[in-house]
């Protein structure tokens, strides 16, 4: 954000909010979109191929369940942002078909 302040010659004493500066340069924050897109690509890669990471991701490790509050599931953010009626098993099926996965990925990232 500092780069926009610098290019527009906005002093720190002006106390302009970041949203105001973004509106001035007519752009928006793209970092979170980039992060979500890359996470979805990584997830699609994991779900298409069986691996130890997929096993950990699904939480199927042998042994006793830990005490205390359950850990936040790595996929919880994805299931919240995706279609509300989609669960993990449907997401896995979707990842098996690359063309459908890519269409879904681009639709939800925009």
Supply the mean pLDDT for the chain. 78
38 belongs to a structural domain: yes
24 belongs to a structural domain: no
19 belongs to a structural domain: no
d(CA 70, CA 59): 11
pLDDT digits (tens, 9 = 90+) for 63-92: 777 788 776 666 676 666 665 667 777 877
Residue 28: the pLDDT is 82
Give percent of the chain above pLDDT 90: 0
pLDDT digits (tens, 9 = 90+) for 14-67: 888 888 888 888 888 888 778 878 888 888 888 787 777 777 777 666 777 778
Does the predicted model carry a pTM greater than 0.75? no
User: Number of structural domains, the chain?
Assistant: 1
90 belongs to a structural domain: yes
3 belongs to a structural domain: no
100 belongs to a structural domain: yes
Which residue segment(s) compose the domain that 101 sits in?
31-61+70-109
């Amino acid at each position: 954000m500092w780069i926009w302040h610098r290019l527009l010659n906005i002093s720190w004493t002006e106390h302009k909010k970041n949203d105001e500066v973004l509106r001035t340069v007519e752009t928006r924050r793209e970092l979170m979109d980039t992060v979500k897109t890359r996470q979805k690509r990584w997830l699609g890669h994991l779900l298409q191929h069986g691996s130890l990471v997929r096993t950990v991701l699904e939480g199927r490790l042998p042994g006793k369940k830990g005490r205390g509050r359950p850990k936040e599931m790595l996929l919880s953010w994805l299931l919240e942002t995706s279609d509300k009626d989609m669960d993990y098993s449907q997401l896995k099926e979707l990842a098996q078909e690359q063309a459908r996965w890519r269409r879904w990925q681009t639709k939800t990232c925009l």
